[in-house]
Homo-oligomer: A and B are copies of this chain.
Amino acid sequence: MTEVKAYAAKASDANLEPHKIERRDITADDVKIEIEYCGVCHSDIHQVRNDWKNSKYPVVPGHEIIGRVTAVGDNVKGFNEGDLVGVGCMVDSCQECDSCKEDLEQYCENGATMTYNSPDKHLGGHTFGGYSEQIVVDKEFVLKVPENIDTKAVAPLLCAGITTWSPLRHWNVKKGDKVGVIGLGGLGHMGVKFAHALGAKVVMISRSPSKAEDAKRLGADEVLISTDEDEMEKHQGSFDFLLNTIPVGHDVNPYVGLLKRDATMVLVGAIEPVDPVHGGALILGRKRIAGSVIGGIKETQEMLDFCGENNIVSDVEMIDMQNINDAYKRVVDSDVKYRFVINMKSLKEN
């Protein structure tokens, strides 16, 4: 084991502070990674604050990890020292269930091991995430990162990116489809970029007229203000697909009205109850509401390759590790365009 520097919350009401953690020695199947950048996801804050009632302290958050390989185990092929790699929300899964066999480790029927706050099969205790100097990860959960795109802005692709990419691909969004992206935050801004890159006619749907200009810069063809009833009426029954990134419970019925017959709205943000859905609105158009979480490793690699080929990264604001607590406050206030990324060099200087 090696002791490494990290930042951790020690209790649900505590600020993050410097903390030492142990990383395992690499096994034959492991890749050791020196972390260069780590994105800040809203779920980091939920887990630090124990909003989901399953946090184990100390919590070392961080599941949008970019770094360089510093060592590989004997069984590892395809990764070499110095390679630019990524680690997302998962670091292990059973690899045996139907979901794993279908490259859908995120739905592992025996429970995937999440990058932090999940039982650690190697050391016992729980896993520690990317707000740290280095990490050791099973080779099946390490991703190759294209060298040609802005490395620091790749980090959020590992969660915000794949969370929006996966449903767009699974529901087969294609050239010419009319796609609505609801909510313009960390997830929504990636949804707009990806839907645009896939050739869809993209409508950014938001309550805030102030976001219109930025949405168009990101790739939206049109902006629909959801509080404008006349505009909402004009778009009734016209969408092939809706990607709903709103991170809290809300009234989904106005959006259901926007769907065409047989079209789907996919929730990717609201991990809590949404307001009552009108059964009739679904029934009278054979409409669908679904959910989707992150994506499998194979699909995440496909996304990274696509991003390399199409020069797609996240819009990020860089911070030092020491500013994490202020950054959390700003995330909660939706005051970031569109994702904070920690420059992990700052941790060394701590």
Contact A107 B279 (CB under 8 A): no
Contacts of A267 in B (CB 8 A): 279, 282-283
Contact A285 B279 (CB under 8 A): no
Give the CA-CA distance A274 to B268 in the complex, in Å: 21
Interface string of A166-193 (1 = CB under 8 A from B): 0000100000000000000000000000
| A5 at the binding interface (Cβ < 8 Å) | no
Contacts of A293 in B (CB 8 A): 283-284, 286
A283 to chain B, nearest CB (A): 3
A277 to chain B, nearest CB (A): 6
Q: A285-B107, A289-B288 are in contact. Are A275 and B276 (CB under 8 A)?
A: yes
Contact A287 B290 (CB under 8 A): yes
| A347 at the binding interface (Cβ < 8 Å) | no
Contact B286 A170 (CB under 8 A): yes
Contact A273 B282 (CB under 8 A): no
Copies of this chain present: 2
Give the CA-CA distance A151 to B286 in the complex, in Å: 30
| A249 at the binding interface (Cβ < 8 Å) | yes
Q: Which of A237, A264, A280 has the most CB of B within 10 A?
A: A280
Interface string of A277-304 (1 = CB under 8 A from B): 1111111111111111100000000000
| A28 at the binding interface (Cβ < 8 Å) | no
Give the CA-CA distance A63 to B221 in the complex, in Å: 45
Q: Which of A107, A109, A264, A279 has the most CB of B within 10 A?
A: A279
Q: What are 20 pairs between A and B in contact, CB < 8 Å?
A: A104-B261, A107-B284, A109-B237, A249-B276, A264-B288, A267-B279, A267-B282, A267-B283, A268-B283, A269-B279, A271-B283, A271-B284, A272-B279, A273-B278, A274-B278, A276-B276, A282-B289, A286-B293, A288-B289, A289-B290
On A, residues with C-beta under 8 Å from B are 99, 104, 107, 109, 170, 237, 249, 261, 264, 267-293
